[in-house]
Amino acid sequence: MTTLLEARYRTVLRLLPAYYRRAREEEMVEVYLWDVDQDTQDQSRPTLGEVVSIAALAVRSRLAAAGAPRPYALLGSAVRHFALFAVLLQAATAVVERVLGLTWSSTHGSRQWDMFLSGFTGRGPLWTVVGIAEWVLPLLWTVGFFALVHDRRRLARAAVVLAALPTLWPLVGPLVSDWAVSDPWFAVANALFAWLPALALCAAFHRDAPPAALPFGAPGMVYAACCVVMGASLVLLPAMADSAWAPGTCFVLGALAWLLLRARRPDRSPDCGAVALAALGLLLLAVRVAAVYPWLGVLPAAFVGGALAQAAVLALLVVALAVVARRDLTAVSRGT
Amino acid sequence: MTQAAFFVLTALADQPRHGYGILREVGELSDGAVQLRVGTLYGVLDRLTADGLIALDREEVHDGRLRRYYRVTEEGIGALDAEAERMAAGADAAKQRIAEGRKAPGPAVNPAPHPSAGPGPGPGLAGGLA
């Protein structure tokens, strides 16, 4: 007869994917109930620690590595690619924005320098801490990226979580201070752009996952190329420069290069790169639209036109990547 | 090799065991320091199986419930032996350093005298500085 405790354990085990439950559920229930007194089973519950350990196993078995059933191995590969590409984009964005901002402020007179410093001072200790954290912590995206490609997973996880923290301030700040966010949709989109990659990295690069590897190029070269493209997009078209412009431009060029190299590659074995890029493109499109929306009809037509053109290119690219991803997944399901 | 994997392999080194037997054995081997959760145990078993370090020995059904016994493979014994050697070498190096430190003069490496231990081999705080 099934006791209440057994039913509760089986409920917790439903977190695991079906293939895993088929292989392990009976055995795991036997372990759980081994030394539990039959008479007390209806009064007991799975502990929080047991639930957490099953949840962690569920994440690992769903975002699986090679050897697991194909849908889970593909999902794992796609999430790992998404995390890698997004962290690269975030890393280059953070460095380029800060280097250009610092260069501009320090070379355009004392007034610009004072404006730069006013971001950290003059508004009380809370805002000083927030200002410094918002400037410094995003630099950890670069630490996270290089830690990831060198398979230092713990360091990568810690770095990206810390790097993503400042994006929470626009959401949390209004709750703890009298500050009101002027653009809540952009704040949400920006937080998603930081936290989805950070959480994807933490979940998908588990102990059983293969090391991160870019589809082409050495990590340092690819990172430097992203920085150059972003820096050039801001320097050459300063009228377009909002926070979505540089990563959007870099993504467009990077995704086009990826599609081109993929088309020329003799071995076209699908690696879920298209799925990951399509998801990242969609996320960037949300940031792009949220960034330009409040300024429609306010800022000059050149800026709004440039931002909308970038949004249109991003949308087209997302559709193209989705088509490629669909073809890849169809090929995989046919076993080719 | 992780600590959990090391203890699971050690638990299986002498005889095949089932899931609960491994959990209990790991607890005893580590003097209670390592208490594996079931989710963690099966993550480790999956990894060791994929690496060929353990294998399914047999299955039994008791009171309608499945009990699977795992055994360590030759490759697993080799990996455990190598890990044990590495740990022993590390422990030897630590002991040697501690012994060398005790022989060397200087206050930084002298152990602090315990109140009940009486006079130690080196000068105490009062005697050394007075």
Q: Is B66 within 8 Å of A30 when comparing Cβ atoms?
A: yes
pLDDT of residue A66: 66
Q: Which residues from chain A sit within 8 angstroms of residue B68, using beta carbons?
A: 27
Q: Nearest C-alpha of chain A: how many angstroms from B51?
A: 10
Residue B116 has pLDDT above 60, yes or no: no
Q: CA-CA distances (angstroms) from residue B26 to A38, A253, A317, B10?
A: 25, 53, 53, 8
Task: Give residue A270's pLDDT band: very low, low, confident or very high (50, 70, 90).
Answer: low
pLDDT at A119 over 80: no
Per-chain mean pLDDT for chain A: 88
pLDDT value for B121: 44
Predicted pLDDT of residue A15:
94
Confidence class for position B129, pLDDT limits 50, 70, 90:
very low
Q: Among the listed ranges A75-84, A116-125, A250-259, which one has the minimum average pLDDT value?
A: A116-125
pLDDT at residue A181, rounded to an integer? 77
Q: How far apart are the first and last CA of chain B?
A: 51
Which residues, in sequence order, are bridge partners of residue B62? Answer: B65
Q: Which of B22, B37, B59 to mutate to test the interface with A (most CBs of A within 10 A)?
A: B37
Taking alpha carbons only, the member of B24, B83, B91, B89 closest to residue B48 is B83
**DSSP assignment string, B48-92:** HHHTTSEEEEEEEEETTEEEEEEEE-HHHHHHHHHHHHHHHHHHH
What does the pLDDT look like over A216-256, one tens digit per residue? Answer: 789 999 999 999 999 999 888 776 678 889 999 999 999 99
CA distance A53 to chain B (A): 5
Interchain CB distance below 8 Å, B67 and A60:
no
Interface size between A and B, measured as CB pairs under 8 A: 58
**Considering CB atoms only, which of A28, A29, A208 is closest to B47?**
A208
3-state secondary structure A233-293: HHHHCHHHCCCCHHHHHHHHHHHHHHHHHHHHCCCCCCCCHHHHHHHHHHHHHHHHHHHHH
Region A265-287: what's the mean pLDDT? 84
Could you tell me which residue, A51 or A263, shows the higher pLDDT? A51
B-chain residues within 8 Å CB-CB of A57? 39-40, 42-43
Question: Which range (A17-31, A176-190, A220-234, B98-112) has the least confidence?
Answer: B98-112
More confident residue, B9 or A119: B9
* Whether the predicted pLDDT of A335 surpasses 70: no
Assign A269 a pLDDT band (cuts: 50, 70, 90). Answer: low
pLDDT for A144 equals 96
Q: Do residues A156 and A140 make contact, with C-beta atoms less than 8 angstroms apart?
A: no
pLDDT of residue B87: 93
Question: What residue in A sits closest to B63 (Cα-Cα)?
Answer: A30
Q: In the prediction, which pLDDT does A287 show?
A: 94
* Contact between B43 and A55 using a beta-carbon 8 Å cutoff: no
B70 Rama class: left (phi>0) / alpha (psi -120 to 50) / beta = beta
A35 reaches B (C-beta below 8 A)? yes
Confidence of residue A127 (pLDDT cuts 50, 70, 90): confident
CA of A141: how far to CAs of A253, A273, A288, A294, in Å? Answer: 21, 21, 20, 28
In one letter, which amino acid is A151? D
CA-closest candidate to residue A173, choices A126, A118, A139: A126
Residue A8 CA to residue A149 CA, distance in Å, equals: 41
Q: Is A109 left (phi over 0), alpha (psi -120 to 50) or beta?
A: left
Which chain A residue's Cα is nearest to B47? A208
Q: Which positions ≥6 away from B103 have C-beta within 8 Å?
A: none
Which tokens is A127 given?
């805002």
Tokens of B89: 């070498």
pLDDT value at residue A273: 85
What mean pLDDT comes out for the span A103-126?
A: 81
Task: Please report residues of B whose CB lies closer than 8 A to that of A31.
Answer: 18-20, 23, 38, 41
Please say whether the dihedral angle defined by the alpha carbons of residues A100, A103, A107 and A113, taken in this order, is positive or negative: positive
Chain B residue closest in CA terms to A30: B65
Q: Which of residues 98-127 of B touch A (CB under 8 A)?
A: none
Task: Tell me if B65 and A31 make a contact (CB, 8 A cut-off).
Answer: no
Kindly report, residue by residue over B22-71, the tens digit of the pLDDT. 999 999 999 988 889 999 999 999 989 988 999 999 999 887 788 899 99
Interface of B with A in 57-86 (CB under 8 A): 62, 65-68
pLDDT digits (tens, 9 = 90+) for A30-73: 898 887 777 777 778 888 999 999 999 999 888 887 667 888 88
Cβ atoms of A222 and A316 within 8 Å: the answer is no
Q: What is the pLDDT of residue B110?
A: 53
CA-to-CA distance for A205 and A80, rounded, in angstroms?
7
- Nearest CB partner across the interface for A34, out of B20, B42, B50: B20
Task: Give the span between the Cα atoms of A90 and A193, in whole angstroms.
Answer: 9
Contacts of B112 (CB under 8 A, 6+ apart): B125
Q: Is A38 on the interface with B (CB under 8 A)?
A: no
Residues of chain B neighbouring A73 (CB-CB closer than 8 A):
none
User: Are A54 and B38 a contacting pair at CB < 8 A?
Assistant: yes
Q: How confident is the model at residue A164 (pLDDT cuts 50, 70, 90)?
A: very high
- Confidence band, pLDDT 50/70/90 cuts, at residue A267: low
What distance in Å separates the CA atoms of residue A187 and residue A183, rounded to the nearest whole number? 6
pLDDT in tens, B64-110: 788 899 999 999 999 999 999 999 999 999 999 999 988 877 655 55
- Cα–Cα distances in Å, from A314 out to A231, A277, A319? 19, 11, 9
A55 vs B39: CB contact, 8 Å cut-off?
yes
Bridge partner list, B71: B55
Residue among B1, B25, B26, B46 with most chain A CBs within 10 A, to mutate: B46
